[in-house]
Structure formats: structure tokens, C-alpha cells
Chain A
Amino acid sequence: MLSVSGLFKQYTSYDGTPGGGVFGADFALKEGELFTLLGPSGCGKTTTLRSIAGLETPQQGRIQLKDRDLYNSATGANVPMYDRDIGMVFQSYAIWPHMTVFENAAYPLKVGRKKKHSSAEIERKVKEALDMVGLGAFIQRPSTQLSGGQQQRLALARAFTREPDLLLLDEPLSNLDAQLREQMRSELKRLQKETGVTAIYVTHDQSEALAISDRIAVMNEGKIVQLGAPKEIYNRPTSEFVANFIGRTNLIHGELAADASAETIRSVTTALGPLNCFFPAAVPATKSLAVVVRPEHIRIRKAGTPIEAESDNRLTGTLTAETYLGEIVEYVVAAGSKEFLVRTPFVQPIAPGDAVTLAFAPDRTIALIEA
């Protein structure tokens, strides 16, 4: 479908010093997939997206869509953006204020030169697209009278009217308020599955990425650091960066006496005693391991209460703070010199100052090479 290889683009700031960009990204999309580029600002995700769209010209690499070179530094091929058959939804929506809802959605059909459309055909297609996003009743409205959420839908309809080979979404939900964002998120996913369009979604919001994607590419400093399905990324981070960036995590420094092969459980020495850890990748014996445990993978009990699984790692500590958040409770536990964050839906009969026991399964205790 879409394949990107060796994509390289470095910005130069005005004083000539090299700046950010993307430094060698490789990935390929499957037909009908929703693929997310996730990373902090400045990680190169937007540059990657804009290079695919043709809004930026890369310096190196190759971008292929349906076996056609959109860009290839080796042959000098660079298809202009109006010829790429890519639909895009912008962060600011980019709804033209001087056109009506209909005119906005019809624009791609009117200016595209690949095939001419009769006005009846345009009307039908626009109506279809607007109905699909639930804007059918607003067809003759001036676009300036739309709310933020409606503008978002219109931007989506406009990207769909062209029946593009590929849909690009550049942080499309970041300008919406929290409630609307969740609603649009599920609607986006529904529309994408219904139309079967292949889509690339760019966001810095990890929960959004986890909820919507078929696969996620986590980017940092211009490179893809991990690529996989949401569950894989969350439960089996392969680097300290990914573990920290996706969700909150507890981090313990550890040492490994003997080489560990991939997907095995080995004992790791830490300041809090030995812990049995899962190794997602092969790691040679080292003095700098990062052991990460998600707050929701830790069970907390009052000291002395029996804990079910025998194989679990166990720590004892003192409860220092409790935050009640409604659906969950957050506990902060001091164990040795470390503070642990624990999140659980079950309120425990404990109060700050109490001695507590923490337990977490070895396959939820991930050992990574320290960054």
C-alpha cells in the first residue's frame, strides 16, 4: 500500500545550525489499516506526514503509494501534491471561510484534474460525504457558522469526497474539548473502518493513539523507536523512552549478572532486592538496566494480608499519599529510597503511614537497557 523507506529530512535554522526533522524512517502500511505516528513534539512525526503529503520535500529516501513513486531521491521523482491522491485533515481544520459547507466539500472534485465530474455527480458525492459525517442538514450553511466539532466533520468530509488512496490526519482532535474529543475519536475509527480507507494518524496523545490505532509507530528525535500493535507497545515497551512516554510507569535501576535471551524471565538485582523480570529483547550482562512496572499492574495490600500469586515480585513500604479520583485510586508508596505509584480501582482499607505490601507479576516487570 504505502511504503516509506530511508526518509530523511533535516531542517536548518536561520543561523545555519542543523535542527530537527526525520532521520531515516522506514515503515509500510497494509491496506485498510489505521496507522499512528506517535511522539513528543519535535520528534519528526509531522515532518514525516508532510513529506508523504508532498507539503515538504525530503532530502533522502523513497515514498511509494500503490507501487508509484511519490518521491524517490535516487531517481529524482517528486510528484507534486495536487497529483498525489491523498486526502488530509489539518490540525486547524483549514475550512475556507469564504465558501459554504457545500463549496468546501466540493472543492476537491472541482479543482482535481484527473477526472472531470458533472455537477450532478459532484452534488451526489458531496451529499454522500456530508451525510456520512452527519452534516447533511448543513449543506448550504456558510462554513463560518459551524462549531469546532462540525468544522472537524466538514474537514473529514472534504478529505473523503476525493476518494483518496490514503487519508492523512494531523492531530485532528487536538483543538476539540475533552468530551467531544472522545466522541470524535470513536467516530473517526468507525468512519475509517466503514470506508476502508488506509489512514495515517499523527498525535502526541498516547491514550488517543492506543484507542484508535491498528498499529503505532513511536517516534523520538527523528527516528521510529518502536512499531507495533497498541497492546504490544503498552505492555512490551522495548526502550525506556517508550515505557515512559506511553502511560505512567515506575522505574527501578537494576543489574544483570548473566546474558538474558529475548522473551525470557530472569532475576535482576536491584537496590530493593532481586526481582524476576521479563526481557522483551536479548540483553547481555550489564550494570545498567531499567526495570519498569506500570502503576496499574501493581497490587497493594495492608502488610500481612495474604497475596494470591506465589510467583509475584514483592516489596514492602509505607503508604505516603492517597488520591481518590473516582473510578480509580492512586497510592504513593515509599519503598527503600524509591517512590512507587500504584493505581487500582479497588479502595483498600489503608491510610497514609500504614505499612503495605506491593506485588506485581514477573511478566509485567519489564527489563530494558537503560537509556
Chain B
Amino acid sequence: MSSAPQTSLGATAPGGARRFAGFGVSPLVAVLIAVLLVFLVPPTIYLIQTSLYTTNFDGSFDQFTFRYYVELFTNPRFFNNLVNACVYAIGSAAVALTLGVLQAWIVERTNTPLRHYVFLISIISLGIPSVLYTVSFLLILGKAGPVNQALMWLTDSSVPIINVYSMWGMVIVEGIDFAPLTFLLLSSVFRSNDASFEEASMMSGAGISQTFRHITLRLATPGIMALLILIFIRAFESFETPALVGRPGNVHVLTTQIYDSIQRTVPANYGQAGAFSIALMAIVIGLLLWYNRLSRNAEKYQTITGKGFRPRVMDLGKWRWLTCAMLVLMFVIMIGLPVGIVVYASFLPYYEGVTAKSFTLFTTANYMQVFNSASFKGSIGNTLILGAATASLVCPFTALCAWLAARRHRGAWLLDQLATMPLIFPAIVMGVAFLNVFLHMPFAFYGTLLSVILASMVRYLPYGMRYSYAGVLQVHRELEEASALSGARQSTTFLRVVVPLITPALITCWLFVFLLSVKAVAAQILLVGPKSQIIAVTLFDLWENGQVTELAAMGVTWMTLMTVVSTTFYLIARRYGLAIR
């Protein structure tokens, strides 16, 4: 309502000595802005420099050149990669949305049995590293996998029928991988629709499927559209699936090209990686602007009204067993089969598909090897430290920024903008940018765990901001004003009123940042060194080396650990009635 300047923290009079001359920005806001700039400016500058200079063997910049950009546009592979990336992103967004919409509707708006477990399962699946997920689908759909074996047996063929190392393989794997996140984001869209709209449709004589198509889906369309673009962006900049599924089949996208320029080219072609990164970033920025416009519209369409609002479930009658079967089927495809095949592989001495003979070869040797390996234990330790440190840094920091921004402190809008800025860096691009920053540090910083944590913190700032902002917006402004008029200073108000009230949002924030940061590989793969190995990258390397059974044992161990973490949080959340979004 008011666009008027608020009294800033610690400031006692307009133009007082404690305000920064001219801007009226409080010292706290100024410090936070400075911190964000320190983390954001160097990577951006180095990234741009990398694409404009030739790089020496020691990593220092040599001559200014536009060569890499000229190469970019004259290189037919660039356009080829671009087209591949688009097809792949559209395809996987379509798969993820179809699964997500169906699940969200069944869970939020119907009385299907077992529907409440979908939340738990989705959160657990968020904890599975994308690499492991992708690998499990390669084991299922690969040349020696059970699907090809069955098809070969059915058609009496001696060669594999389907080739997963292809565009459609990438689309399926990525789409299924994104489905849980899609479901979690969509469920809030469906929850916010008033059931009376659907009831009015039923009273007009429409059936369940007509109501779903004409009312439920139409009301949710703006939300779904915004989500579609979001998934498109995520797929467009994703790395794991293209690297593991597309690359062996010679299907390249922009992210794999960037990775190859650095890791598979001798000497590393930093310039080419830089130019590709800038190009990818430009596209992502365009898409994000579009997304912002759409999601603003989506908010306008939101149908939450104070009066008589009750999201209610629809009685499906006998049909609820069909929807229940669909949930179970989705569960089998999304969790059951991938986890099953990895568990199965983890007990084998070598992997060659699912055969009767292999069951007789079961061994725990892989697990023994994993548990006895110091590097694996180190990897687990590093990953837990990485996740906990990232989440513990991101949540309080974004909470403070979000509060200052939401309460319109002078200059705090910049905090909001800066903390959201990392979204424009695709994970692999951020890796390239921080790689260059760390290589140019005056002391040995590249490859340390601390460096990985810092990069990861920057990467997940926007996610933290999203949760914190939502939390702060739920706190009625008058709750804080009442505190101020009780004689409390703003710092007291923040600690005694705001923090306790946004704690539920902060717990959720912590869990999600933790899960997201430990499962990713793309942001960290270019940054980790021998002493800072983390699980996702170790799994990636094991697959590249063909050590499938060790990978499986390690993956199972990690999944078990993550399931314990997620379930604990889920139970805590349920206990305190927190919203898992």
C-alpha cells in the first residue's frame, strides 16, 4: 500500500549520521549488498573475460580476441546442439508435466487411496542424485537391460531392439527425473483452486473427466504454463542426462559441449567453453524474463479468496481404484524400477542384465569394498558437509534479505534482485565461471571443499530466497508494527517476532536446499578436487569408468542415508503442520 520509505535499522533521524549519505540505505542493507556483489561480480567478469581472451597453460589470460564467438557462429555444431537442446527440453518438459499434472490432481483433488504417500515419495526421490537416477534407467533400458532382453525374446531377435542412447532416451529419463519436482510445484497450484468451481461444474451435469478438462485444468493453466517454461529452462541447462545418455549416442547439447571443451579437450579450451556459456546464458535470460511475465499473470489468476474458500476433494467412486492403480504404476516406474535395478546391480560381481544365473552370483563384495574405502567415506562426509553448510548459509542469509526486501527497506529491492540473479547461470556455466575465479586466486583455493561450498551457496541463493520470501509474506505486517509500538527495536522485532513466525518456512527451505545441493553434479563437477570428492561426482566418474556394480552399492548406501534424512524432515514437518511445497 505504502511506497513510502521505512525507518531503517538503527537509523534514528532522517539524514542522521548512521545513514549512508545520499541514498538513505541502512548499514545492514549496504553490507548485505556488498556481500552479494563480492560473490556475484567476479564470476561474471571472469566468465566474460574467458570468452574474450586466449588462455595460457597456467590459466592466465593472454590476448584479446573475438575468435571464440566467430567460431561459435561458424561452427555447425553450435546450431546442431541448440536444436538438440530445444527438442530435448520440450520433450522432457512434456513428459514431466503429464506425469506431474496427473499426480497433482489425483493427490490434491480426489479421494484416491494412498494419495498422501505421494508427497513422501516425491521428497525421497528428490534426494536421489540425478546421476544415479539416470544410470538406473540406462541399466533398465540399455542394451543388456531387462527391457531389451524381453523385447529380443518376444521378437526372437539377436540384436537389441531399442537404443536408449538417443534423443528419446534423454527425453524419457529427464522427464521422469523432473516429475517429482513438477508434482510438488503443481500441487500448490491445484490446492489453491476453490472446490466450489468444480462442484458447480458437477451440478451442471458434467462428469469427472469433463470437469477435469474444462474447469480444473483451465483454472490451473496459467500455473501450468509458467511451470512448463520453468522445466524447459531446467532441462535446457541440465547436464547429467545429456552427458550420460546423449553423449555416448553422439547427441550433444550446449551443456555437454561446454563440459567437453574443458574436460575432454587437451589443452582445455576455456575460450570455447566461455563463448558457449555466454550463449547459453543469453538464451536462459530470455526464457527467464518470459517466465517472470507468465508467473506474474499466474498469480493474477490465482483463485484464493478469503471467503468460503475450501479446497476439497472430489469423490471418484469406483474410479478411485483406477487412479490408485495409476499412482502405483507411476510409483513403480519412477521409484520402484530404478531403485530395484540399482539394488540388484549392487549385489552382482559384474553387470550383464537380469538373468536367472546372476541371482546365484549374489555377493556383498561391492558393499565391503565401498565401506572399506577411505575415499568413499570421505566422499560421504564431504557431501554431507557440503549440503549442511550450503543450507545453513543460504537459509538465514536469504531470510534476512527477504525480510528487508518484503518490508521495503531502502535499497533492499537490490538484495532481492541480486540474490535471484544466480538463476541466469546454468549450473555448468556457473561451474565454468567459478572455476576461473578459483584458478585466479592468489592462494591455492581451487579444489578445496570450501570453494565448492561457496559456489554451491551462490547457486542455491535463489531457491532459498523463494522459500524465505514466501515465509515472510505470510507474516502480517501488523504483527511487527505491534512489536515496534511495544517499544522493541527492529533487531528485537526480527529476532523475537519474525524469526519464530517464519521458522516453519526456514525448515522447509533448509531441507530443500540441502537435498538439491547434494544431488547435483553439474555445478560441482568442474570444481571438485581429489580432496573434495562428493557423491554425485564420484558416481559420475564410476559410470564413466564402467564400474557399475561399485556405483550401485555406493548409490544404494547414499539413497538409504538420504531417505532417512527426508523421512525425518517429513515427519517433523507433519508434526508441526508445515507446508511442504
A interface residues, Cβ below 8 angstroms from B: 9, 11-14, 53-57, 76-78, 80-88, 90-94, 96-98, 107-108, 111-114, 155, 158, 162, 168
- Complex-state Cα separation, A54 to B483, whole angstroms: 13
Given contacts A14-B3, A98-B501, A111-B487, contact A90 B482 (CB under 8 A): yes
Instruction: Give the complex CA separation of A107 and B488 in angstroms.
Output: 9
A107 to B7, CA, bound (A): 22
Interchain pairs with CB closer than 8 A, number: 94
Using A56-B2, A81-B7 as known contacts, say yes or no to A162 and B487 having CB atoms under 8 A apart: yes
In contact, B481 and A88 (Cβ under 8 angstroms): yes
Provide the residues of chain B in CB contact with A94, threshold 8 Å: 476, 478-479, 481-482
Supplied contacts A11-B2, A97-B501, A162-B486, 11 more A-B pairs, CB within 8 Å: A53-B481, A56-B2, A77-B13, A81-B485, A85-B487, A87-B485, A92-B476, A94-B482, A96-B483, A107-B488, A113-B487
Q: How far is the CB of A61 from chain B (nearest CB, A)?
A: 14
Interface residues of B in 5-60 (CB under 8 A from A): 5, 7, 12-15
Q: Is B292 an interface residue (CB 8 A)?
A: no
Q: Which residues of B contact A81 (CB under 8 A)?
A: 7, 484-485
In the complex, the answer to whether A76 meets B487 with C-beta atoms within 8 Å is no
Interface of chain B residues 466 through 495 with chain A (CB within 8 A): 476, 478-479, 481-489, 492
Minimum CB–CB distance for B532 against chain A, Å: 40
A258 → chain B closest CB, angstroms:
49
User: Given A56-B4, A57-B5, A96-B479, does the pair A78, B13 have CB atoms closer than 8 Å?
Assistant: yes
Q: Does B442 contact A (CB under 8 A)?
A: no
> Is the C-beta of B497 less than 8 angstroms from some C-beta in chain A?
yes
- In angstroms, Cα B5 to Cα A219, docked, is 25
Whether B3 pairs with A13 at a CB distance below 8 angstroms is yes
Instruction: Kindly list chain A residues whose C-beta atoms are within 8 Å of the C-beta of B500.
Output: 98
- Known: A82-B487, A82-B488, A111-B487. Is A57-B478 also a contact (CB below 8 A)? no
CB of B13 within 8 A of CB of A11, answer no
Which interface residue of B3, B487, B492, B497 has the most chain A CB atoms within 10 A?
Answer: B487
Find out whether the CB atom of A91 lies under 8 angstroms from the CB atom of B496. no
Closest partner residue, chain B, to A47 (CB atom): B2
By a CB distance below 8 angstroms, the chain A residues around B484 are 54-55, 81-82
B-side interface residues toward A, CB under 8 Å? 2-5, 7, 12-15, 476, 478-479, 481-489, 492, 496-497, 500-501
Cross-chain contact A111 with B485 (CB below 8 angstroms): no
Q: Which 3 A-B pairs have the closest CB atoms?
A: A112-B487, A108-B486, A94-B482
List, sorted by A's number, 17 A–B pairs whose CB atoms are closer than 8 Å.
A9-B4, A11-B2, A54-B484, A54-B485, A55-B481, A56-B4, A57-B14, A78-B7, A80-B7, A80-B12, A93-B478, A94-B481, A96-B501, A108-B486, A111-B492, A112-B486, A112-B487
A80 to B485 Cα, complex, angstroms: 10
In this complex, what residue of B is CB-closest to A79?
A: B12
A111:B3 contact, CB within 8 angstroms: no
Task: Chain B residues near A96: list those with CB within 8 A.
Answer: 479, 482-483, 497, 501
When distances are taken between beta carbons in the complex, the residues of chain A under 8 Å from B2 are 11, 56
Q: Is there an interface contact between B3 and A90, defined as CB atoms closer than 8 Å? A: no
Distance in angstroms between the alpha carbons of A9 and B3 in the assembled complex: 12
How far does the alpha carbon of A107 sit from the alpha carbon of B485 in the complex, in Å?
Answer: 11
Q: Chain B's nearest CB lies how many Å from the CB of A113? A: 7
B256 to chain A, nearest CB (A): 44
Q: How far is the CA of A352 from the CA of B485 in the complex (A)?
A: 57
* A56 partner residues in chain B, CB cutoff 8 A: 2, 4
Do A111 and B5 touch (CB < 8 A)? no
A11 surroundings in chain B (CB, below 8 A): 2-4
Chain B residue at minimal CB-CB distance from A161 = B486
Q: How far is the CA of A94 from the CA of B476 in the complex (A)?
A: 8
B12: min CB distance to chain A, Å: 6
Q: Whole-angstrom distance between the alpha carbons of A56 and B4 in the complex?
A: 8
Most B C-beta atoms less than 10 A away, residue of A76, A85, A96, A113: A96
Residue from the list A57, A111, A112 in contact with B4, Cβ < 8 A: A57
- Residues of chain B with a CB closer than 8 A to A77's CB: 13
B483 and A76 contact, CB distance less than 8 A: no
Asked if residues B486 and A107 are in contact (CB atoms below 8 Å), the reply is: yes
A14 nearest in chain B by CB position: B3
Report B-chain residues with C-beta under 8 Å of the C-beta of A12: 3
Is the pair B4, A92 in contact by a Cβ cutoff of 8 Å?
Answer: no
What's the minimum C-beta distance from B2 to chain A, rounded to whole angstroms? 6
- Shortest Cβ distance from A283 into chain B, in angstroms? 39
**Is there contact, CB below 8 Å, between A76 and B492?**
no
Q: Say how far B13's CB is from chain A's closest CB, in angstroms.
A: 5
Distance in angstroms from B578 CB to nearest chain A CB is 14
B581, chain A: closest CB distance, angstroms: 20
A62–B476 Cα gap in the complex (Å)?
Answer: 29
